[in-house]
Amino acid sequence: MRSAWILILLIALGAPVPGLAGGIWLYDLGAPSMGRAGAGSAASAEDAATGFANPAGMTLLDDSSLVIGVTGLFVSSKFQPGPATTESGGGGGDAGGFTPGSGVYYVNRHSERTQWGLTLNSWFGLGLDYDDDWAGRYFTHEADIFTMALTGTVSHRLSDRVSIGGGVSAVYGELTVETAINNALDGLADGRLDINSDDYGFGFNAGLMFEVSPETRLGFTYRSQVDLGLDDVVRATGVGPTLQAALDEIGLTGSVVDLDVVIPQAVSIAAWHRVSDRLTIMGDVGWQDWSEFGRMGISISSDPLMSLTTPTRYEDTWRVGLGAEWALRNRPWKISAGVSYDSSPVSPADRTPEFPLDRQIRLSVGLHIHHGKRFDWAVTYTYVDSGSGKINASLGEFTGRIQGAYDPYDVHTLGFHIIKYIK
């Protein structure tokens, strides 16, 4: 009974039990391959960013190289409440905004058969910030998840056609959640719950590159899950006496709530083919284990024996991408373009406004300019159609029902990348 009350209160107070960031996967952040929606990255091996996309591809680089990329993500997200919404306050305004990003990739050509690399980047995260008094305030007011990873990799050529690679990532994760507390039982104004937590986790990646011919190659990558323990003291302010008594009874006041979050594992298979001296095409298919992410663990410091696993109805996601690069005649320029599709990790009945992920369609273009013998630069643009994010959810009398869809629900990403080749 006590465990049931803890779960009910965590849900009622708006803690992010239904989901943190399902499907928020940032493909090739800070890498020039953003200009083709990340398509074929596990097989392209064009610059130092392959150390992250597929470490086995580092054996294909002729020189040591460095890639530095800066990006800006512009999110437009406006919720349109439907007739079944029970709380007043409207759609919360534009919950998106600007988020900066970056990626640094370095590969050292140690020998003809062995290379090593270092990467500093992020591969998932995002956030939404609604108006304080919006109709879904008892689910969330603000929810942000930020990650940054340092990855060390090594690769080795087994034969003229086959290379392998792998590495270890140290991942920093930070979660921020702010939500309103419904004090209707006491006839009081809303209270507030804040969670701000961070942690470090570790994972690994592995890759295989098979060169079918000088014009065609296949790549395979696996990225392990990363476990984060996001613990924080429960900070609830402005809580009415009825809920405060319940919090005190089960020992939540001043206790540390530990949320065990899993960044899901992922698999990608890619192909790269040079059609002519000017045209190259590439593509990939991928899978991400978001159903495992949904099994979030919760423990309470006030009772060392108290632990829960909260199953949420997340589904594994699938991705398919297709891209191309075209070299202009008589100019040191390459134009790239790409499109990709990611399936939705959650249905409308289980989707909540903390991170209301839907299916995603990416459309990308890029311009790569060769500037001298040892220096290139590139600019990329990606448009993400994030679907409608339909929601029809209620977690009980404390949250009410939120029903509606997002329009618009888009992400615009602009990137600038410098590629330096080092003898």
As a whole number, mean pLDDT of residues 392-399 equals 78
> At which residue do the structure tokens 């600038």 appear?
416
Q: Per-residue confidence at 234, pLDDT binned at 50, 70, 90?
A: low
**Where is average pLDDT lowest: 202-211, 358-367, 379-388, 395-404?**
395-404
CB burial of residue 277 (10 Å; 0-12, 13-18, 19+): exposed
Higher-scoring residue by pLDDT: 196, 369: 369
- Report whether 392 contacts 349 (CB < 8 A): yes
In this structure, the chain runs to a length of: 423
- The string over 76-92, giving b where at least 16 C-beta atoms fall within 10 Å of a residue's C-beta and e elsewhere, is bbbbebeeebebebbbb
- Report whether 91 contacts 134 (CB < 8 A): yes
Please enumerate in sequence order all residues whose Cβ is within 8 A of that of 266, keeping only pairs 6 or more positions apart, or say none.
25, 222, 223, 286, 287, 288, 289
**Where is average pLDDT lowest: 84-88, 181-185, 205-209, 215-219?**
181-185
Instruction: With CA atoms as reference, report the closest residue to 126 among 85, 70, 175, 197.
Output: 175
Instruction: With CA atoms as reference, report the closest residue to 79 among 359, 405, 410.
Output: 405
* Identity of the amino acid at 134: W
Can you give the pLDDT at residue 301? 56
Asked whether the predicted pLDDT for residue 27 surpasses 80, the reply is no
Please enumerate in sequence order all residues whose Cβ is within 8 A of that of 316, keeping only pairs 6 or more positions apart, or say none.
287, 288, 289, 290, 291, 345
Instruction: With CA atoms as reference, report the closest residue to 362 among 26, 20, 18, 120.
Output: 26
> Would you call the peptide bond into 332 cis, given omega within 30 degrees of 0 as the criterion?
no
pTM, two decimal places? 0.88
As a whole number, mean pLDDT of residues 375-398 equals 88
Can you give the pLDDT at residue 251? 63
The span from the CA of 382 to the CA of 73, in Å, is: 9
Collapsing DSSP states into helix, strand and coil, what is residue 393? strand
Measured CA to CA in angstroms, residue 252 lies from 140, 241, 243, 382 at distances of 20, 14, 11, 44
> At which residue do the structure tokens 């009874």 appear?
249
In 3-state terms, the chain is what percent helix, strand and coil (to 5)? 10, 55, 35
Helices (H), 47-161: 50-53
Beta strand 296-300 with 279-288 is: unpaired
Asked whether the predicted pLDDT for residue 125 surpasses 80, the reply is no
CB burial of residue 130 (10 Å; 0-12, 13-18, 19+): buried
Asked whether the predicted pLDDT for residue 417 surpasses 80, the reply is yes
Percentage of residues in the chain with pLDDT exceeding 70? 86
Measured CA to CA in angstroms, residue 13 lies from 17, 140, 222 at distances of 10, 9, 37
As a whole number, mean pLDDT of residues 348-360 equals 82
Indicate the helix (H) or strand (E) that contains 417.
Answer: strand 401-422
Q: Per-residue confidence at 423, pLDDT binned at 50, 70, 90?
A: confident
Record the tokens describing residue 343, joined without a space.
Answer: 């399936």
Measured CA to CA in angstroms, residue 71 lies from 101, 148, 324, 415 at distances of 5, 14, 21, 4
> At which residue do the structure tokens 């779960």 appear?
7
The span from the CA of 104 to the CA of 212, in Å, is: 30
Can you give the pLDDT at residue 235? 74
Superfamily the domain 2-422 falls into: Outer membrane protein transport protein (OMPP1/FadL/TodX) (2.40.160.60)
Please enumerate in sequence order all residues whose Cβ is within 8 A of that of 119, keeping only pairs 6 or more positions apart, or say none.
49, 51, 52, 103, 104, 105, 106, 149, 150, 151, 153
Identify each DSSP E strand in 311-398 by its residue range.
Answer: 317-327, 333-342, 360-370, 375-385, 391-394
> At which residue do the structure tokens 């990709």 appear?
340
Rounded (5°) CA angle 308-312-317: 135
